[in-house]
């Protein structure tokens, strides 16, 4: 299936609207914020979260000009939240690159990057205060709270060997809840879907879990050219992710604990290769497929029909097939 759904006229139109909106609503009085904001927006991204919101709204029969006037700002707000989290995350992780380019903090400094992230969070909340409903604001605010909890939990567990429950607590917070919120808000925009918005929230949660699982698998098998960051970066940063957990019974746990605390590049590469050989990457992909199966089951139980439903099913396939 690949990325064929991205070439459909509907998706191309929604992605074009998203790119225009991302630039439209960055309007600070301070030039440095505009500079950092434009830098990270220009760095690209898949824009899956705003696309999900807009697709579900479209499937709920929200048409132009209402889609552009009332729903697009909500989709842009979701992407601003995601962008803000990346700005903060790269500072916390001291990440040198993002999407194949130097991370914003390496160019503009930590303080300006963090404060620009704060500006984007604030802009997202402002957009929801103007265009959203109390329920939408509740859903998104709760997602942002859980994102912060997930990031802090991950930070506190750096250098530790965690269990599967803790792993999913982390990825639900850092990734899955924003997918869930995007899908729920998309449903809440439509009188035809809003009564069942929690189904769309669950759909997004399983989709987001699968997305992060595949990200973690790619960290063990992808190239720096594909990923925009070095392979094995999670292990280098002392993070336990699913590929490692999936084969932990076949590894020397004491050695793994030492590697998570501090390891040479050679030790990282050896461990990455060993996890691959033991099937950690494929087991992670299989776990992602289980999440996507649950997502598809929920999607097929909604009253979405026609082109939007077909595109969303293709997007589900893309999550597990992607190589970047």
Q: Give per-residue pLDDT as tens, 83-135.
A: 999 999 999 888 888 877 889 999 999 999 999 999 999 999 999 999 999 99
Is the pLDDT at 1 greater than 60? The verdict is no
Name the CATH superfamily, with its identifier, for domain 4-321: Farnesyl Diphosphate Synthase (1.10.600.10)
Percent of the chain with pLDDT over 70: 96
Supply the pLDDT for residue 63.
81
Query: pTM value?
Result: 0.94
Is the pLDDT at 229 greater than 80? The verdict is no
Supply the pLDDT for residue 324.
76
Distance CA 287, CA 209 (A): 10
Is the pLDDT at 220 greater than 70? The verdict is yes
């Amino acid at each position: 299936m690949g990325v064929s759904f991205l070439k459909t006229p509907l998706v191309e139109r929604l992605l074009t609207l998203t790119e225009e909106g991302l630039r439209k609503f960055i309007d600070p009085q301070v030039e440095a914020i505009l500079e950092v904001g434009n830098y990270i927006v220009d760095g690209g991204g898949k824009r899956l979260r705003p696309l999900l919101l807009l697709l579900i709204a479209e499937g709920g029969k929200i048409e132009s000009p209402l889609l552009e006037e009332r729903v697009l700002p909500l989709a842009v707000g979701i992407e601003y939240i995601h962008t803000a989290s990346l700005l903060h995350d790269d500072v916390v992780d001291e990440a040198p690159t993002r999407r194949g380019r130097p991370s914003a903090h390496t160019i503009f400094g930590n303080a300006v990057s963090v404060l620009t992230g704060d500006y984007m969070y604030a802009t997202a909340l402002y957009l929801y205060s103007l265009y959203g409903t109390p329920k939408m604001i509740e859903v998104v605010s709760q997602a942002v709270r859980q994102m912060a909890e997930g990031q802090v939990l991950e930070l506190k567990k750096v250098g530790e060997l965690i269990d599967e429950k803790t792993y999913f607590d982390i990825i639900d917070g850092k990734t899955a809840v924003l997918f869930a919120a995007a899908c729920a808000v998309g449903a809440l925009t439509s009188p035809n879907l809003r009564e069942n918005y929690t189904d769309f929230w669950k759909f997004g949660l399983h989709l987001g879990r699968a997305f992060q699982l595949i990200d973690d698998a790619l960290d063990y098998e992808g190239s720096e050219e594909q990923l925009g960051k070095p392979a094995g970066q999670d292990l280098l940063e002392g993070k336990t992710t699913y590929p490692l957990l999936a084969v932990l019974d076949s590894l020397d746990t004491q050695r793994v604990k030492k590697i998570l605390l501090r390891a040479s590049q050679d030790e990282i590469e050896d461990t990455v290769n060993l996890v691959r050989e033991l099937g950690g990457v494929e087991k992670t992909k299989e776990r992602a497929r289980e999440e996507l199966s649950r997502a598809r089951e929920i999607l097929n139980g909604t009253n979405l029909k026609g082109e939007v439903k077909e595109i969303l099913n293709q997007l589900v396939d893309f999550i597990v097939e992607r190589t970047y």
